[in-house]
Amino acid sequence: MEVPKHWREIPQRYRMEAGKCKECNYISFPKRLICPECGSQSFDPINLSGKGKLVTHTIIRTPHKDFTDLAPYAVGLVELEEGNTIMGQITDCDPQSLKSGDRLKSKFRRMNEEGKTGMILYSYKFVPDNGV
Amino acid sequence: MRDVAIIGIGMMKWGELWEKSLRDIAVEAAINCIEDSGTNRVDSLTIGCMSSGVFNGQEHLASLIPDYLGKKNIPATRVESACASGGLAVRTAFLEVASGMSDYSLAIGVEKMTDISGSMATYALATAADQDYEAFHGVNFPGLYAMIARLHMERYGTTRDQLSEVAVKNHRNGALNPYAQFPQTITREIVANSVMVADPLRLFDCSPITDGAAAVLLTTVEEAKKIKKHPLVTISGIGLASDTIALCNRKDLLKFSAIELSTQVALKMAGKKISNIDFAEVHDCFTIAEIFVIEALGIVKPGQGGPATIDGLTSLEGSFPVNPSGGLKSKGHPVGATGVAQIYEAVSQLRGNSEKRQIKNAKTALTQNMGGSGGSCVVHILETK
Residues in Cβ contact with B177 at an 8 Å cutoff, skipping those fewer than 6 apart: B183, B325, B326, B330, B331, B357
The verdict on a CB contact (< 8 Å) between A100 and B154 is: yes
Please list the pLDDT of chain A residue by residue as tens digits (132 residues): 578 989 999 999 999 999 999 999 999 999 999 999 999 999 999 999 999 999 999 999 999 888 988 999 999 999 999 999 999 999 999 999 999 999 999 999 999 887 666 889 999 999 999 876
- Report the pLDDT value the prediction gives residue A113, as an integer from 0 to 100: 81
pLDDT of amino acid B172 = 98
Distance CA B309, CA B302 (A): 13
A58: nearest CB among B132, B136, B143: B143
Residues with Cβ within 8 Å of residue A69, at least 6 apart in sequence = none
Condensed to tens digits (0 to 9), the pLDDT of residues B115-150 reads 999 889 999 999 999 999 999 999 999 999 999 999
Find chain A residues with C-beta within 8 A of B196's C-beta.
Answer: 59, 61
Could you tell me the end-to-end alpha-carbon distance of chain B, in angstroms, rounded to an integer? 21
- Residue B300: CB atoms within 10 A of its CB come to 21
Mutate to test the interface with A, among B51, B125, B199 (most CBs of A within 10 A): B199
Partner-chain contact A56 B122, CB within 8 Å: no
- B33 as an active site residue: the answer is no
Q: How far is B122 from chain A (nearest CA, A)?
A: 6
Task: Tell me the whole-structure pTM to 2 decimals.
Answer: 0.97
Q: Is B253 on the interface with A (CB under 8 A)?
A: yes
- The predicted model gives B182-200 an average pLDDT of 98
For residue B61, how many other CB atoms are within 10 A of its CB? 25
Q: Please give the full DSSP string across B162-226, using - where no structure is assigned.
A: HHHHHHHHHHHHHTT-TT-S------HHHHHHSPEEETTEEGGGB----EEEEEEEEEEHHHHHH
What CATH class is the domain B4-117+210-227? alpha beta
The Cα diameter of chain B in Å comes to 56
The predicted-structure confidence for B77-122, as pLDDT tens digits, reads as follows: 999 999 999 999 999 999 999 999 999 999 999 999 999 998 899 9
Q: Measured between beta carbons, which residues in chain B are less than 8 angstroms from residue A12?
A: 132
Q: What is the DSSP track for B309-348?
A: HHTTTTSTTSSS-B-TT-HHHHH---HHHHHHHHHHHHHH
Please give the CATH architecture assigned to the domain spanning B127-206+235-384: 3-Layer(aba) Sandwich (3.40)
User: What are the boundaries of each domain within chain B?
Assistant: 4-117+210-227, 127-206+235-384
ipTM of the complex: 0.96
CATH fold match for the domains B4-117+210-227 and B127-206+235-384: yes
Which of A8, A87, A113 to mutate to test binding with chain B, by most B CBs within 10 Å of its CB? A87
Q: Which of B134, B198, B244 sits opposite A61 (nearest CB)?
A: B198
